[in-house]
Structure 1
């Protein structure tokens, strides 16, 4: 219990007496943000950015913030109509209602049935990698594996055509609508609106086709969402479209970066790569350790509904707070002195917070784990000479983290 409206953040001065400044938008931070996170945890665990938003970076504080029931509805982002209606950007009771309806069809049984499909898609992707490397001397694992795999899986689940390039172009534009406290240009706003309209129109047309189609013995996920009911409650057409687009964007982008980040981490840690090749029994734990070590979602946003205390600082009500998921995943208080190291046999790897927490814990966590376990395990065992062919260039985004490409030789 706190009895103050607010208290000074632990961010006023650096060790040299000068004002401490952490700018997550600065050039170079996206290349390796983890030393910055380590300093935040050690000396400025509750950081007030000059732009007016807060960052909490310690594991205990992040978990507490995610579980506290604060709002996810924020006007300080370039929010599209899709995000405004999606479960990801709704508070209770709307979020509770939408999640209950989606959970009815997004079951563990349905996810586990996808293992043979994922295995087949991975093997096809690895065939492409091998051909590309034979023809050009190297292959890009983002283009050939990390990008198409999650898109093909989610499209198969939804019973929709997988138009790679069309979907990727629009998803990359809409990713900017997730960035906080941005100052969007008129051109970016227009691009987001256009991408949203085109994606909404395509999904709406598919939904209409599904409504007219005869009933199937084993309906796809989209058909199940159309029919989903809870005590007479159903998804409206706009809500249905928003959830499908959310599944597209979340199912594709975050898993793409998870796979790419995981492969880069392994190729930079040859001893761990050898361990994974020799120990298939580690596949599941390795997926969680790779999620912990370099997560594809760096922050999760909350708006405080009441004063919130973290590490002795009281954040006022109405504040935009970024829960530092990636920083929490490297917290020495939880993961010990080896927190900055990649250890595929780490006993408590699953204590990472890469899937968020509280009411907004990622609905697709089981699917992401399954895709990572199968894809990375089969990749490293098929190509015993797998190696990076060039330096990694990282995307220049704050919320999400992933490489532009992963060029490899096989």
Structure 2
């Protein structure tokens, strides 16, 4: 079972105060009076637009207006590529000053990142949701700064369910039965199973939790090829993929972004969704229903939480400038702007408190309620970036007609064991 990393806000954290103020940044800029920070950031736009770039452009313009001597250049990359491109930059000795990506621990362990203490003002650092701050630690020092969070319930197309005369499933057997009825009604993809390279590690973990497994055991050691995990993928292969219930695109070729877009077009009956899908579905007139994730014998006992990270590399020596920029990034206004625009969850105490009561964020409150029992992947493990990348490339193979869940999980487990031994 996955080690429990709960995301919820605690009373002790709330007692730190509901308003974080940004400390003065002091003199900024290099010997020539100006420093340029390079930020590589992930693209959150589900429709192929440029909303992520617009967000950063607006934030950077506001920051630069109040911080003469510091310029920020932002490079936005798709989630398919962003982790790999940052890794290639670091390998080539051209690390960006800042990276907003999926994993931080390997860079922290290699001594390549500034710690939060070296970057942030005390009020800003103290304002992170406690479990997210803990998950950003490597050897008890925080290097990963949580950027945004989400939880993953089951989403379903309410109109398609009504036409098929079905209700939200609570068990896997019910889920398969509902998918068969949707298929009989002509639904193109009764249940989407995006195991393509964009986010297969997270989609897989959602199912593993529902099946009583996880990527790690109670001792936080990898348990990738556990009996529970093999059983889960065997069920997915035999009961969903083989009968054609996952649609015309093979799961290993289907990315999350494409699955979400198909759901928003009304072509998908069910999928494991997250809040960012709500906005696009609403734009296209899709009524989204939500339900707890089905498990083997009833609703899943735990669900997955996800946090994405932002970090600052030491290579260029710009900790003062990077810290001033990050203090600005984590103001309530900017945190809520990005989270609200993308239907995601804020990572700070004060922004979460405001979202809980703000009418414009009412549709996200149920996701905030799920945070206390949601659990993260093993992001604090130095080996996680390599293991996660391997999972992205391999998990789709486990459910192909000729694929073997046991063989695929066993292969990834050996990779994980080797990576863990090298930590």
User: TM-score, normalization: structure 2?
Assistant: 0.26
Compare the two structures and name the one with the higher helix fraction: 1
Q: TM-score, normalised by structure 1?
A: 0.27
- Greater strand fraction, Structure 1 or Structure 2: 2
